[in-house]
Amino acid sequence: MLVLLAAEGARLDAGAVGLALARRRSEAGEQALFVDADTTGSRLARRLGEVAHADYSPAARGLPSLMVARQPMTLRLLAEHCYSLDAGAGSLWALFAPFHPDGGEHAAAWLAEQTGELASVDRERSVIVASSFPAGARRLAPAVQAGAVLVLLAPVESVEAAEALGALCRGFDLSGRRCPHRALIVEGDCPLGDDEVGAATGMHVAGRVPVVDEERMLRLGGGRRDRALVRSVDEIAGRLLSYSRLVASQLATHRVTEAPATQVEALGALEGPTEVTNVNGAPTEAARRGGQVVEATDERRG
């Protein structure tokens, strides 16, 4: 399961990026479930409706109708409460948040209580949950703490901004050596290098993306620049997901030993460094450093 958050001040909307990411996976033949967990209310459903000239009312199909159903979250139930936005050879279901901000807060809190059921759905469909930071992180804490892959989109325009972001990340336990499945994607122009941003925030800088027009991103296909951004986020999320699964499978006999500045760059861990690239295809500073992140231990030593 992927949780995609957009920090305050970000010009990229987590919902628009998350929906485009789910659409990309559907086009690749995957079964995807996009969940809009915007705590300020679903502006996304309205914006998508305007772009697609369609009605995506959450009250008819969405988190509000799913909550009212008061039934276990099964694929059959989700099929009744999601909008089908199928693209390509796969399948895309979209579950939108309530329009009203109060409803958005309540729906996000309810969704967090369904973390176990969402994880079960994720075994059948690739689940992408989009929200804001820090409000979304507060409401979705159980899902994040349960080991969901987390990608934070944030602008970092100065050292002070990086330090303020780092304080928030530490406050929500998103940074540190025990968080290999969480990463930061820097949005827009940033005067700092990846190492500087990583040191200030305590998070691995997995890449940088430009700001693109949201309306174009919501349109089917989008432009070359939009597709490049979504492809970059998808590749980063995929590497984090692969790495988190590797760590989970090795927990009985291995332990993570490196600090976050060196632990996620490879995202292939035991097989050596794998290059992580920016949206333009150039390697990030962190990717060029590489580094081993998992050390074998002897269980019998107690």
Give the pairing of strands 204-209 and 182-187.
parallel
Which amino acid belongs to residue 143? A
Side chain identity at residue 110, one-letter code:
W
d(CA 81, CA 194): 41
pLDDT of residue 168: 92
Going by the DSSP 8-state scheme, the letter that residue 275 receives in this structure is: -
146 neighbors 114 (Cβ within 8 angstroms):
no
Please name the residue ranges forming H helices in the chain.
Answer: 14-27, 43-52, 63-69, 75-81, 101-113, 115-122, 135-139, 141-145, 159-171, 194-201, 214-218, 224-250, 260-263, 285-289
Tens-level pLDDT at each residue, the chain (302 residues): 888 999 988 888 888 888 888 888 888 898 999 999 888 766 888 888 888 888 988 888 999 999 999 999 999 999 999 999 877 788 999 999 888 878 788 888 898 888 899 989 998 998 999 998 988 888 888 877 776 788 899 999 999 999 999 999 988 888 766 566 788 999 989 999 999 999 999 988 888 888 877 777 776 555 566 667 677 777 776 765 665 555 455 443 433 333 333 333 333 322 222 333 333 334 333 333 332 222 333 333 33
Write down the residue that tokens 């276990």 correspond to.
72
Write down all domains in the chain, each with its CATH number in brackets.
2-231 (3.40.50.300)
Q: What is the 3-state secondary structure (H, E, C) of 87-152?
A: CCCCEEEEECCCCCHHHHHHHHHHHHHCHHHHHHHHCCCEEEEEEEECHHHHHCHHHHHCCCEEEE
Which among 173, 162, 163 has a CA at the least distance from the CA of 138? 173
Q: Which helix (H) or strand (E) holds 33?
A: strand 31-36
Distance, CA of 129 to CA of 233 (rounded, Å): 14
Question: Which H or E run includes 83?
Answer: strand 83-84
In contact, 36 and 96? CB cutoff 8 Å: yes
End-to-end CA distance of the chain: 32
Half-sphere exposure at residue 253, Cβ-oriented, CA atoms within 13 angstroms? 5
Q: Could you give the angle at which helices 101-113 and 115-122 cross, rounded to 10 degrees?
A: 70
Contact 283, 275 (CB under 8 A): yes
